[in-house]
Every structure is written in structure tokens, then in C-alpha cells.
């Protein structure tokens, strides 16, 4: 029997953090282990992608200490900001796990955006291979970062626990949004759209950890400042039981994202048979089937409002899109499929 090359998964902070990228990393590590591969997890400072000099030094030393008979899979949140000269000296073969390029993050100062673009571009040239969650991210690395296509493998996220029955929407309809409280997720845009729907009967729950504290406070002020307080709950981080309960009771899934390299929550919504309202950005059009969702231009509150109004006032359309979402959800890959794709990359290096 061929020995599977061991690997160390390197990421900033705690792998149990509740964001799509960390969920991906955790499921990938768990399922590579289930497939018989020895996996270690190396946690760096959670200050990445903007560490200070001491944090960078400790991170690069930790990477240098990985033996050359192991693959180092480095999450892009740290990888794209690492010291290029020291990264080139790492003995272990390197695989980058790029959820989406760092320079594509929302609300970055121009000088930081340019720095991250240059650093990530240089670092990508040093790795043996690159894993990405979507064809969109692959194409972006090819076109904007000059990465050869044959150095990139798409390992689409799996779906953890598919619902056994479609959601049973409440009355009035529950609009569910799931995503960290960060400008990129567009919860402020969703709240602005909901504020224009006072004449309709609905309620909304936004689930997500307060990743950006200032933005989270702004959202709380946006809700508390008027009648939305009676209709909208900013639930923060919730446990999985409550999250699954919300998916099961929702009638619409809405995320006004400004950019997504993939968006695991869309697969979760599809697996529960929820019609989706979101934006035509990043990997979203490739992730959300056309008959299961309505995608509008980003930053367009009027179009977002109209899409929500259409679904809220047209039960037949809502049901048709829910049925299409449910069928699409049946065909989604599992995390064992994702791990098999990643394992092929590791085995080729071995």
C-alpha cells in the first residue's frame, strides 16, 4: 500500500472560527484524515494579513521548522501576506489554499491593497501547487496574477449535512442571511433594501460573527434607528442547531455580498431548498443556479429591493425557485469529494 504523504495545514488563528474559509479548512483537514492521511494543524497569529514584524518573524520560523518530508498547505489569509524572501527558503513543499485573493477584499486602503497584490503575486510563484474553491478564483489567478492554469486545481467545497426534507417556510416569510459582519458581506445593503419593504409582511434574521466590530456597530445602529427593530434580528454567532432551525424555517435566503470567491452558505441554502437573492459578483453566478435564485448588480439597493419584493409577493415564483434549489442541492458534492481532489494534488507532489 502506498504511504500517503503527511501534511501540515497552516492558517492564522483558530481553525474552528465560524467563517466560510475556516469551515472549508476544517472540513478539508478532517476528511483528509478520514482518508488515512496524517495531518497536523499549525495556527499562526490571527493578526494576518497585517502582522507586525514580530508576528511575521514567528510565523516564518514556524513554517521553516516544517520538515521537507511533509507538505505545507498554507491558507491564503496568511500566505498572501508572508515575507517572500523567507518563504522561498522554506524546505517543505508548499501548496497555497487561496479562497480569494487578499487584494480583492472590500474596504482596503489603496496602499495596503497594492502591497497585498504584489506580495501574493510573488508568493504564488514559489509554490508547488494551488488549491482554489471555484473556477472563478482559478480564472482570477490566471488573469491577474500570471499563474499557469496547470498549477491550479479547483476543489469545490462540499456540503456537510444535507437536509432530508425541504425547508418549511414560516408565515410571514422569514428572510435569512448568513455571513460574518464585515463590509464585504453587504448586510448594510440588505438592511437598506428591507427598509423599503415596510408595506409587506416579513421578518428577517442575519446570522454572523462580528468580524469587523465597527461595521457590526454600524449595522446595529441601522436596525435600531427605525421600525426595522421590530422585524430584523441581528443574531450574531449561533450554534449549529439554531442555524439549521433557521434554514429549515426560512422562505428566502438573501446575501447582498460585494464579493465572493465561492460562498459556502449558498450551497447550504440550496441543500435546504431555499430560493436565493444575491448579487452578480465573483463566484456567485457559478454557484447559484439561474432557476434557483435572482442575482442583481452589486451595490444596487433598488434592484435588490425589487428582487425581494418579487419573491415576497409571488408565492408561485418563490415555490418554483425553491423546488429548483432543492433539486440543485441534491447534486452538490460532499466533503469527501473535496478531500479526494486535494489528495490527488498531495499525492502528485509525493
Task: Give the span between the Cα atoms of 223 and 317, in whole angstroms.
Answer: 29
Q: What is the mean pLDDT of residues 23-47?
A: 96
pLDDT of residue 226: 83
7-158+333-349 and 174-330 in the same fold: yes
pLDDT of residue 1: 45
pLDDT of residue 3: 73
Q: Which of 86-90, 94-98, 124-128, 239-243 has the lowest mean pLDDT?
A: 239-243
Per-residue pLDDT of 97-135, as tens digits, reads 999 899 987 778 999 999 999 999 999 999 999 999 999
Cell 432543492 maps to which residue? 326
Which residues contact residue 329 at a Cβ distance below 8 angstroms, ignoring those fewer than 6 apart? 159, 162, 163, 267, 270, 271, 272, 273
Q: What is the mean pLDDT of residues 242-261?
A: 94
Q: How confident is the model at residue 141 (pLDDT cuts 50, 70, 90)?
A: very high
Q: Which of 61-75, 151-165, 322-336 has the lowest mean pLDDT?
A: 151-165
Q: How confident is the model at residue 212 (pLDDT cuts 50, 70, 90)?
A: confident
Provide the mean pLDDT of the chain: 93
The proportion of the chain whose per-residue pLDDT surpasses 70, expressed as a percent, equals 98
| Bridge pairing between strands 129-132 and 71-75 | unpaired
Which CATH number describes the domain made up of 174-330? 3.40.50.2000
The answer on pLDDT for 11 being more than 60 is yes
Which CATH number describes the domain made up of 7-158+333-349? 3.40.50.2000
What residue spans define the domains of the chain? Answer: 7-158+333-349, 174-330
Q: Which of 152, 7, 4, 3 is nearest to 72 (CA)?
A: 7
Strand order in the sheet with 152-154: 39-44, 7-12, 71-75, 94-97, 129-132, 152-154
Per-residue pLDDT of 293-320, as tens digits, reads 999 999 999 999 999 999 999 999 999 9
Q: How confident is the model at residue 17 (pLDDT cuts 50, 70, 90)?
A: confident
**Over the range 82-113, which residues count as b (16 or more CB within 10 Å of their CB) and which as e?**
bbeeebeebebbbbbbbbbbbbbbeebeeeee
Radius of gyration over alpha carbons of the chain, in Å?
21
Amino acid at each position: 500500500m502506498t504511504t500517503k504523504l503527511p501534511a501540515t495545514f497552516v492558517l492564522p488563528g483558530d481553525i474552528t472560527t465560524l467563517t466560510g474559509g475556516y469551515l472549508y479548512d476544517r472540513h478539508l483537514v478532517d476528511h483528509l484524515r478520514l482518508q488515512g492521511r496524517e495531518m497536523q494543524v499549525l495556527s499562526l497569529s490571527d493578526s494576518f494579513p497585517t502582522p507586525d514584524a514580530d508576528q511575521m518573524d514567528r510565523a516564518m520560523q514556524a513554517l521553516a521548522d516544517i520538515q521537507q518530508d511533509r507538505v505545507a498547505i498554507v491558507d491564503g489569509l496568511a500566505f498572501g501576506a508572508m515575507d517572500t524572501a523567507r518563504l522561498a527558503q522554506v524546505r517543505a513543499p508548499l501548496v497555497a489554499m487561496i479562497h480569494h485573493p487578499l487584494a480583492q477584499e472590500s474596504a482596503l486602503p489603496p496602499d495596503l491593497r497594492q502591497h497585498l497584490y504584489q506580495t501574493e503575486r510573488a508568493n504564488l510563484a514559489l509554490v508547488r501547487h494551488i488549491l482554489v474553491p471555484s473556477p472563478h478564483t482559478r480564472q482570477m489567478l490566471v488573469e491577474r496574477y500570471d499563474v499557469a492554469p496547470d498549477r491550479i486545481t479547483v476543489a469545490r467545497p462540499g456540503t456537510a449535512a444535507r437536509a432530508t426534507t425541504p425547508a418549511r417556510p414560516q408565515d410571514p416569510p422569514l428572510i435569512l442571511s448568513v455571513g460574518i459582519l464585515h463590509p464585504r458581506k453587504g448586510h448594510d445593503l440588505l438592511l437598506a433594501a428591507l427598509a423599503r419593504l415596510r408595506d409587506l409582511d416579513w421578518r428577517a434574521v442575519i446570522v454572523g460573527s462580528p468580524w469587523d466590530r465597527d461595521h457590526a456597530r454600524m449595522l446595529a445602529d441601522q436596525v435600531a434607528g427605525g421600525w426595522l427593530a421590530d422585524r430584523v434580528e441581528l443574531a450574531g454567532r449561533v450554534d449549529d442547531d439554531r442555524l439549521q432551525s433557521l434554514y429549515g424555517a426560512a422562505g428566502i435566503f438573501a446575501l447582498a455580498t460585494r464579493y465572493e470567491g465561492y460562498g459556502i452558505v449558498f450551497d447550504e441554502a440550496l441543500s435546504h431548498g431555499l430560493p436565493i437573492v444575491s448579487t452578480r459578483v465573483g463566484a456567485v453566478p457559478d454557484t447559484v443556479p439561474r432557476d434557483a435564485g435572482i442575482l442583481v448588480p452589486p451595490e444596487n439597493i433598488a434592484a435588490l429591493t425589487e428582487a425581494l419584493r418579487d419573491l415576497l409577493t409571488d408565492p408561485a415564483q418563490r415555490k418554483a425557485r425553491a423546488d429548483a434549489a432543492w433539486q440543485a442541492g441534491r447534486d452538490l458534492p460532499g466533503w469527501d469529494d473535496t478531500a479526494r481532489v486535494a489528495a490527488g494534488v498531495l499525492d502528485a507532489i509525493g
